[in-house]
Structure 1
Amino acid sequence: MPLPLNDEHRDLAASVAAFARRTAPVEATRARFAEYAAGGRPDSWDALLPLGLHCLHLPEEYGGGGAGLPELAVVVEQLGKALFPGPYLPTVLASAVVASAGTDGEAGRGSRNPAGELLTAFAEGATGALVAGRGLSAARSGDGWTVSGTTGPVLGLPGAEIVIARADVEGRPGESLWFRLAEGPSAAVDAADGTDLTRSVGRLGLDAHRVEEERTLRGLTPARVDLTVNALLAAEASGITDWCLDTAVEHARNRVQFGRPVGAFQAVQHKAAMMLVRSEIACAAAWDAARAAGQPPLQQELAAAQAALTALPLAVDTALECVTVLGGIGFTWEHDAHLYWRRAISVASAAGAEEGWATRLGEAALKGRRDFSFVGEDDLAELRTQVGNTLEEVLALAEDEVTSSGWAMGRGGPRRALLAEAGLVAPHYPPPYGLGAGPAEQAVIGEEFARRGLNQPTTVIGEWVLPTLLVHGTVAQQERFIGPTLRGEVIWCQLFSEPGAGSDLAGLSTKARKVPGGWSLSGQKVWNSLAHEADWGVCLARTDSDVPKHQGLSYFLVDMRSAGVDVRPLRQATGLSEFNEVFLDDVFVPDECLVAEPGHGWRLAVTTLSNERLSMGSTKLHHGSADRIRRLLETGGHDAGRQETVRALGRGTAREIALSALNLRSVLARMSNLDVGAEISVLKVYNTLAQREGSRELLRLLGPLGCVVDPDADHVIDHIGLPAVLFGGGTIEIQLNVIAQRVLGLPR
């Protein structure tokens, strides 16, 4: 899914894509590499200006379109996907930074407003470049400044008509001077051979360059500058990943080897599916940065740094994978893949070193967290009052929930009963069990719980089972099970996986034989969490062996205290027993505990599993979380230095922000009636990868402390427990198969 989440942005993206295809085909760009390296404009520049694509983000009073950073990011993404050449991105980077300074502040000693004059020039079509890195230093000189030094490579510098530059102020650590460069002998632009062949790059050298006060810019904050730059670089990176994915998938569908499309081979399918995962995450990271404009400085810092750590490296990785899927043809000069790869490397490098951003994000994460709320404090006031009053009643009751020894929910008491009666245990359920709450209502309810320090209740496995009963169960089944589960009177487990049928669920062998008044179930289930505490289990069993394996399955509700049910805990590598194997020996299940008709079990199982994956694709990491690294910094329970640990926190925070951004995009897409497509599977895959990498990162920090088990921290056991999420709800490999075949349409 590209950046747009509403009809207006989607229309904008479609028109920009059509413009780029019509006016700037890549084959035409190839013929002008030398011109672009010198700062030349494409022939389509004059066609771009009347459309206002260069200035849609600038204030209307200066000739702009009055839009914002999110709209500009949509344009940058589409032009990036088209490999639009020349000074467009460097120009909007410069003009967007100037626009972020505002135009109402002090302009210097005269009456001129330098920001306003620059914005007018940009709106009229002037090209620009932004020199925001290190290398220049400024010293006070009379009523102006003297700037000297040499910068690193800057995109779009050769040929730029307006250069906006930053210098470190001597003697004032952390203070910057922003100014417009003036032409003259004290300023020299040294053009370089660019990695990206489609735009210029060069270094700026200043030798006692005089900057009058009237050429300085005020009101530019580091957080907003970083956010503006990184959001736009990330938007272009998102466009690059989108092109690479489309190109690789098209090749995999059509290229035939060994008598089959190469996309039919699992290795290629997994490569393509991981490209989709990277593309979706890069897009979410860019989107989150663009939406942070106007938020408080700390939110801007967090969003800017995560974009640099997430979207930009993912574009480089995705471009390389595109080449590997294409094979030898992708490694030729004639194929366009290397041009996108070069651009991905260029924009990632332009943002600065990843390790620097990891440090900055880690330090920012110690100050606060990224805000992913999407409803205002005054929104849905009546619902807030209603929920708030109920929660105040709950707080007035004594805490009497009987806690579980494992993952199961606690047995409910009056507090839980009151919440269930008010529809607040599962507010998204329809009445009488819930409030029929949509995403906005659910967000408000969650905020009211958090405001009072209350955790929202969960039915754990019931959160996957009850939706199935709501859709497919009889009225009697719904009345019998839904209310008691919500009140905490019934705990569920899931009896799906078998020793010989884990990921291949349709290959299960547990038999259900028809007997008078019901069914007799026999077989073995495994990896059943909560089975040792559960009252009831949902069981998939084979009722017909003469039909294809998906068609012969049925969905049963099993009383776990029935005769013939034998639950045996499985001791894991962690030393804990959180899972079980369950033996069913002629277990009687009455007819009223068969859900839907015999043979409909697969359809029901898909409902259950889809709810499971949605839940497990949430942004809370059970293993390797950034919070664990925060605790290391607080307690000193690590062997690494502080800076290395802070960088690890930054990387972990970037992963979690990207997950949260993807989750929020999914919610907002549903609210806009958009097809969310692959998000659930992508969330599952990236969530699992994030937990694996975060847990491994913890071990890298522990050093010799990893030789012992710390009962107060258990970071080693946290890593050893990873298989629970690597296998649960479908392995990464199974999820990649689903993405490749069902989403990307690669042949089976």
Structure 2
Amino acid sequence: MALPLLEDHRDLAEAVAAFANRFGGIADTRSNVKRYAAGDRPDSWDGLVRQGLHAVHLPEQYGGDGAGLAELAVVVEQLGDALYPGPYVPTVIASGILATAAGPAAETMLTELAAGATGAVCTGTRLRAARSDAGWTVSGSADPALGLPGADVVLVRANSEDGELWFRLEPSTSAAVVIEDGVDLTRSIGTLTLTDHQVEAGLIVDGLQAHRTELIVNTVLAAEASGIAGWALRTAVDYVKSRQQFGRPVGSFQAVQHKAAMMLVRSEIACAAAWDAARSEEHDEDQQKLVSAQAALAALPVGIENALECVTLLGGIGFTWEHDAHLYWRRAISIAAVAGSEVKWAHTLGDRSADSERDFSFVDPEMLPELREQVRRVLDEVALLPDDGTTSASWAPAKGRARRARFADAKLVAPHYRAPYGLGAGPREQAVIAHEFAMRGWAQPSTVIGEWVLPTILEHGDAEQQDRFVEPSLRADIIWCQLFSEPGAGSDLAGLSTKARKVDGGWVLSGQKVWNSGAHEADWGVCLARSDADAPKHRGLSYFLVDMTSKGVDVRPLKQATGKSEFNEVFLDEVFVPDDCLVAEPGQGWKLAATTLSNERLSMGSTLHHGSSRLFRQVIADASHDCPREDAVEGLGRSISRELALSAMNLRGVSARLAGQEPGAEISVSKVYNALAQREGSRDLLRLLGPRAAVVDPSANYAIDHIGLPSILFGGGTVEIQLNVIAQRVLGLPRS
């Protein structure tokens, strides 16, 4: 959940957390809320300055550490987790903005801030500047500004006919600061009013760019929201693990587990959005505009939602003044408010996405040059071959095609597989290969259901099974289906009833399977069947490879609510499976199925099919929305936000592996968020359409897109099952 991925960032986070724990904590904050509301610094401010936590992002020439936005975000997240009081956040926002400026006024302010002065930034559409003989005259009221009361350095932005005017505020009778009664009790907030305030040339700050200042503000606030969300999750989980009701821990109740699991999902979204914004510091303007809006839209509401859910899981005690939950809740509300409305940011992201897309490539173009050249040669050769296409009725690749054969020969269908099937590519090599495919605009080849089956055979199958099945599957000569689910078992695979009876030379399978994707086109299926009726549920299962042309296999396509037949039910009537098609030993099927399903969730958590931004763009392009265009643009923004969140989470997972970390919760989290994002996006799309959604249109089948959702909501385990997994295996909540 925390921002740091690299070892030095993790060390920084630990140091900041240790500092926050040493200096008073929330008990000190509570006893000094009146002081902080008036703009006083905490007693630990000098210690914070001595450690350089206020200047980690500032250039070394001013006494800073010369780091960047990513390091600052790590510090802010940890101090947000500790609810560190006072002017820290408004100060680093001010200094971060000034570090991108030029001129003597900025240099003077940076020197003061690096020495330990506090800062604030005042903006708002009602501050207007006009040229005067002495420089500029500014009048109007700014929006409420965090840290303004008590700030040593105040940076102000006003609007003029020439654009934005940034300047340092000097004390004057023409400038009035009103201390407001802030929602956040732990830091000051105030309103600046200027009346014919004169700004001399020496106070003007030059060189600031709107997109850079916005990025700094939104990244810092998003990082603090991530810290708040993490505290709320940890506090709620710790409580429900120990709180007893009806003779058992509250955390054993499924409703509570699902709430806690969703808190983790939201925390990961906030963390990923803040992380992606912070890493964009060196990216171009269009990229920074996208991630800045995304940070505000995706991360800031999470702080509020997780704080509220923390209160609901704590129950009555969480709603008391004495509990710390409301202090975090108040801060989350405050920072989301000063950043701007959620609706505004959704519309902004939709607008900005019209002409640009987020670039999630992350590898150095010069990394592993020999591998790059090898992949490029193969891609050049493949480009000269005819397109392979797919089979007519599913996602399976067509058989016997030249492109697929060339990719298989080059070990690029599954480059992470060990030789002789792949290149044994680690995370860095896989990233480089994916980058080369992406630069051509090509999708990497897939074995579809085989993506989940083949790793199981490679890990648990014998050498003959590997030789027999892996290479032909990579060449698309074998197409796979999965025979797991049953009408009476659903997601409870341990409760399945298909029987496997031992006979001479093999096994006889009898039973019924359902929701089998592509079974009508598959050559082989992986089947989980009960080989020992007397063993406990999980221990009596075995994992079989079934020839789908075998006598007794009856595949019946299921017509879905969409009118399509992508799924099937499969009847197994005394189907003989030879011994050499049993993978591993009898009774090990549950362990093998876990391998298969974990690969399934990783694969299915990578893209959005329903309610995608592509469909929102289409609605806007053909003006088929039954609402003002700006509402449709807002819908696009929210759709883009969901896709950016998923992509950022996936990229964080890859980056963690590149940094040598083991995979964490991201597989299950991505699966849950993927399904929920498609549900929300598809429903949002219908809200825009009106009468258009009542007609089946082959060129723009929005309603059918929504009706097809169950295949996503059920596939690979329902959302509810995945929430159980997160709650019990990731958060450690007790089973019921």
Q: TM-score surpassing 0.5?
A: yes
Instruction: Say whether residues 1:67 and 2:67 are aligned partners.
Output: yes
Equivalent-residue separation in structure 2 for 1:400 and 1:696 (angstroms): 35
2:411 to 419, 423, 426: 423
Shift of 1:94: 0.5
Show the counterpart of 2:154: 163
Query: Conserved in 1, the CA contact under 8 Å of 2:389 and 2:397?
Result: no
Show the counterpart of 1:240: 228
Query: Conserved in 2, the CA contact under 8 Å of 1:404 and 1:411?
Result: no
Instruction: Say whether residues 1:689 and 2:676 are aligned partners.
Output: yes
1:576-626: CA deviations, max 9, x gaps?
1110000000000010000000001111000000000000111x1010001
Query: Conserved in 1, the CA contact under 8 Å of 2:393 and 2:566?
Result: no
- Matched letter for residue 178 of structure 1: W
Are the structure 2 counterparts of residues 129 and 401 from structure 1 closer, same or farther at C-alpha, using a change threshold of 3 Å?
closer
Are the structure 2 counterparts of residues 402 and 90 from structure 1 closer, same or farther at C-alpha, using a change threshold of 3 Å?
closer
Show the counterpart of 2:80: 80
1:491-520: CA deviations, max 9, x gaps?
000000000111111100000001111100
- Matched letter for residue 545 of structure 1: A
Matching of residues 146-545 of structure 1 within 5 Å: 146-169=137-160, 171-172=161-162, 175-401=163-389, 403-545=391-533
Secondary structure in 1 aligned to 2:167?
strand
Unaligned runs of 5+ in 2: none
Are the structure 2 counterparts of residues 85 and 401 from structure 1 closer, same or farther at C-alpha, using a change threshold of 3 Å?
closer
- Matched letter for residue 667 of structure 2: I
Q: Root-mean-square deviation (CA), in Å?
A: 1.1
Equivalent-residue separation in structure 1 for 2:299 and 2:390 (angstroms): 45
Secondary structure in 1 aligned to 2:597?
helix
Secondary structure in 1 aligned to 2:370?
helix
Equivalent-residue separation in structure 1 for 2:392 and 2:432 (angstroms): 28
1:10-52: CA deviations, max 9, x gaps?
1111111111111031111111111111001111111111100
1:280-334: CA deviations, max 9, x gaps?
1111111111111121011101000011111100110000000000000000000
Secondary structure in 1 aligned to 2:281?
coil
Equivalent-residue separation in structure 1 for 2:483 and 2:636 (angstroms): 38
1:417-470: CA deviations, max 9, x gaps?
111010111111112111122233223222322333433211100000011111
Instruction: Say whether residues 1:117 and 2:117 are aligned partners.
Output: no
Instruction: Say whether residues 1:598 and 2:586 are aligned partners.
Output: yes
Show the counterpart of 2:667: 680
Equivalent-residue separation in structure 2 for 1:683 and 1:355 (angstroms): 25
Equivalent-residue separation in structure 1 for 2:57 and 2:440 (angstroms): 40
Equivalent-residue separation in structure 1 for 2:481 and 2:494 (angstroms): 19
Shift of 1:402: 5.6
Taking structure 1 as the reference length, what is the TM-score of the superposition?
A: 0.97
Equivalent-residue separation in structure 2 for 1:630 and 1:484 (angstroms): 40
Equivalent-residue separation in structure 2 for 1:219 and 1:649 (angstroms): 33
Are the structure 2 counterparts of residues 22 and 712 from structure 1 closer, same or farther at C-alpha, using a change threshold of 3 Å?
same
Show the counterpart of 2:704: 717
Query: Conserved in 2, the CA contact under 8 Å of 1:510 and 1:542?
Result: yes
Show the counterpart of 2:648: 661
Equivalent-residue separation in structure 2 for 1:433 and 1:637 (angstroms): 49
Instruction: Say whether residues 1:632 and 2:622 are aligned partners.
Output: no
Query: Conserved in 2, the CA contact under 8 Å of 1:167 and 1:177?
Result: yes
Show the counterpart of 1:28: 28
1:463-502: CA deviations, max 9, x gaps?
0001111111111111111111111111000000000111
Shift of 1:677: 2.1
Shift of 1:384: 1.3
Secondary structure in 2 aligned to 1:660?
helix
Equivalent-residue separation in structure 1 for 2:133 and 2:364 (angstroms): 49
Instruction: Say whether residues 1:650 and 2:637 are aligned partners.
Output: yes
Equivalent-residue separation in structure 2 for 1:514 and 1:211 (angstroms): 91
1:614-654: CA deviations, max 9, x gaps?
00111x10100011101111122221221111111111111
1:41-82: CA deviations, max 9, x gaps?
111111111100011110001111111010010000000000
Count of aligned residue pairs for this structure pair: 735
Equivalent-residue separation in structure 2 for 1:287 and 1:134 (angstroms): 29
Q: Decide which moves more: 529-538 or 408-417.
A: 408-417
Shift of 1:414: 1.8
- Matched letter for residue 71 of structure 2: E
Secondary structure in 1 aligned to 2:154?
strand
Equivalent-residue separation in structure 1 for 2:443 and 2:27 (angstroms): 57
Instruction: Say whether residues 1:746 and 2:733 are aligned partners.
Output: yes
Secondary structure in 2 aligned to 1:100?
coil
Instruction: Say whether residues 1:136 and 2:127 are aligned partners.
Output: yes
Equivalent-residue separation in structure 2 for 1:265 and 1:122 (angstroms): 50
Query: Conserved in 1, the CA contact under 8 Å of 2:56 and 2:66?
Result: yes
Taking structure 2 as the reference length, what is the TM-score of the superposition?
A: 0.99
Shift of 1:401: 4.8
Unaligned runs of 5+ in 1: 108-112
Shift of 1:382: 1.4
Query: Conserved in 2, the CA contact under 8 Å of 1:282 and 1:312?
Result: yes
- Matched letter for residue 157 of structure 2: R
- Matched letter for residue 443 of structure 1: A
Equivalent-residue separation in structure 2 for 1:734 and 1:450 (angstroms): 33
- Matched letter for residue 390 of structure 1: V
1:653-692: CA deviations, max 9, x gaps?
1111111111111111112222432111110111111100
Instruction: Say whether residues 1:559 and 2:547 are aligned partners.
Output: yes
